[in-house]
Amino acid sequence: MHTNRLAQETSPYLLQHAHNPVDWYPWGEEAFARARQEDKPIFLSIGYSTCHWCHVMERESFENESTAEILNSKFVCIKVDREERPDIDRIYMTYVQATTGSGGWPMSVWLTPELKPFVGGTYFPPDNRYGRPGFSTILLRIIEAWKNDRTQIIESSVKVMEELQRQTSLAEPGPDRIDAKASDKCFQQFRRVFDSRLGGFGAAPKFPRPAVHNFLLRYWKRTGNDEALDMVVTTLLAMEKGGMHDQLGGGFHRYSVDDSWFVPHFEKMLYDQAQLVISYLEAYQITKEPVLAQAARRILDYVLRDMTAPGGAFYSAEDADSVLDPGHPHEKVEGAFYMFSWLEVFNALGSPRSLFAGYRYGMESDGNVSHDPHGEFAGRNILFQAHTIEETAHYFDEPLEAMQKELAEADRQLLELRATKPRPHLDNKILTCWNGMMISAFAKAGAILGEESYVTAAARAAGFIAAEMIVQGKLLRVHGGSIGAMLDDYAWFIQALLDLYETTFEPDWLKLALDLQQQQYEILEDDEVGGFYASAQPDAASLLRIKDDYDGAEPAGNSIALMNLLRLSKLTGDETSARRLIAAFHERITAAPHAVPAMMSAIEFDLAPVREVVVATGASPEIRRKLWENFSPAQILLASDEATVRFRPELAAMNAPGAVYVCQNFTCQQPVTTVAELEPLLK
């Protein structure tokens, strides 16, 4: 068996490639020095451990001896885990998207020894197919070009990086406030692409983009435009019923291949779970629709069961692929763990329970996936809510209560059956940023649903990050590694600490948030123009300094940072960095607000009249729960303790035992101590 340098790494993705015949290097000076010394181009491959097409390219090309021989003799080969080094990924993804018009993973980029790109793409098949040149063909063309046209390649690569720096640089700063016209424009842009029949935005494939939900709900709150609310609720209910939702185990798969949320790409990412919890909880606060709260609970319970490390932090992802036939443990198929043949279900549940479950979940004797271009789903069923429990009871002429019990037992038996299958690969990497997202979700869920165990889970995970991932006073990105935190790590973890403070009023969480915010200023803020750079890592900074500003599957660090800064300004009174950030991104926000919906949520906070609620020691659990009953995105919760009095001395007087003070427009109401007294003040 081959073993290369990646065997010494901790990244699950790099370790997956540790026994390829390719002579892989991790990203670092050792590889760069060899490329310079031998005057060879670099082949850079970027992916992550639960990436389906990364696995495919590994099997087809990186495990191929003859392909490896070409790579090893003519290139210096480097592997990067995009989740460990999103700054490196972002630089070269910017190049690939600019030169090819699209991007994705695995990402394949060829670099000069000075790390400047000159050819790039994503997945390459091993030979010419799908109308695309094969990987070996590409390699041979690049070898020939490097031999005959090197001067031109080097000159072109320098110009490319200069152009990318120009394109990614922000315009001159504008005004430091955004008016409501940008929000109206953003709403109209989402309205135009909304699928009113099936939910979601745009056509297939449909990706969850919870930052859009967050903006639309805040827009609804400020304007009263019910269409904004309807778009979110329609989408969330459609997703909850579909095959993209794990109907048995909870949680959501990465995206829907079709437009009806039925056929998923079966990967499960922590960042999707965390953000969708917030979407479902906020929609529940508004509508009081129980199914929305239940979807949030099922996500959280899934994360606690399957994605939580012994110390309380959260793992990164579960793979889409898993073993279908235990007799062939190296042959993996997408969705094998989650899908069932009808015979499996019948044998496990018997009759009539299998018939009940089959009707409820849309199962067919020969499988229920009609569109299967890769032939992976033949004879198997994706579970989705084809019929409600009431419809199932009516169809079989059974009492509703009896059918509820039958289907609950069917779910239990199917979960037991699923547990006997080989599980998908778990990416057990612990990332600060994604943990921050999940901590916020647990903290808010605990407060909104009155579930103390969720708050406990949030506090335990935050304690793990504080104890294990702040080393010599500096925040790290990955547990067990040495990579310093990046903007998204600071932003998401600071947000988590603020959310934990508002749900527990433990002053240590607020103190840590303030300390880390100071670090973020010192390490990442652009003191001249405003805003924050994505990374301070020297190797990335020397190539291209980017201020990320696109709220996709993961919102940009600057968007989350802005919300943190605006929240903190209500405590500290200092808006300087927030205003500078808005000014820096002013042109981007006003030109294309739909590209930055998370930043637009922060702008909505800035536009709305903020209500401050000060909670004194001894306030009852009932009155604290009341503060979270309704959707109040422009509400700040503070305790009259030493952590807040340090910045707001006037809060020291708001200390009547068990009292709550509601303040707005620089005016505070008389303190109240009962839910009945508090309720009218919160309307």
In terms of C-beta density within 10 A (0-12 exposed, 13-18 middle, 19 or more buried), how is residue 221 classed? buried
Q: What distance in Å separates the CA atoms of residue 476 and residue 480, rounded to the nearest whole number?
A: 9
| The predicted structure's pLDDT at residue 355 | 98
State the pLDDT confidence band at 169, using cuts at 50, 70 and 90. confident
Q: What distance in Å separates the CA atoms of residue 403 and residue 554, rounded to the nearest whole number?
A: 40
Q: What distance in Å separates the CA atoms of residue 459 and residue 158, rounded to the nearest whole number?
A: 48
Q: What is the DSSP string of 18-69?
A: TTSSS-EEESSHHHHHHHHHHT-PEEEEEE-TT-HHHHHHIIIIIT-HHHHH
How many CA atoms does the CB half-sphere of 75 hold within 13 Å?
31
What does pTM read for this prediction? 0.96
Whether residue 376 has pLDDT greater than 90: no
| The predicted structure's pLDDT at residue 81 | 97
Q: What distance in Å separates the CA atoms of residue 244 and residue 242, rounded to the nearest whole number?
A: 5
At residue 200, what is the residue type?
G
State the pLDDT confidence band at 129, using cuts at 50, 70 and 90. confident
Where do the structural domains in the chain lie, given as residue ranges? 5-168, 338-420, 612-682
Over residues 176-203, the pLDDT tens digits come to: 999 999 999 999 999 999 999 999 999 9
Q: What distance in Å separates the CA atoms of residue 228 and residue 215, rounded to the nearest whole number?
A: 9
Structure token digits, residue 54: 């990364």
H/E segment holding residue 80: strand 76-81
Whether residue 642 has pLDDT greater than 90: no
State the pLDDT confidence band at 325, using cuts at 50, 70 and 90. confident
N-to-C CA span, the chain = 68
- Burial letters for 21-44: b for 16+ Cβ neighbours within 10 Å, e otherwise? bbbbbbbeeebbeebeeeebbbbb
State the pLDDT confidence band at 433, using cuts at 50, 70 and 90. very high
| Residues 6+ away with beta carbon under 8 Å from 220 | 226, 228, 229, 232, 286
Is the CATH number 3.40.30.10 carried by domain 5-168? yes
At residue 73, what is the residue type?
S
State the pLDDT confidence band at 507, using cuts at 50, 70 and 90. very high
Over residues 70-94, the pLDDT tens digits come to: 999 999 999 999 999 999 999 999 9
Give the residue with greater pLDDT, 132 vs 319: 319
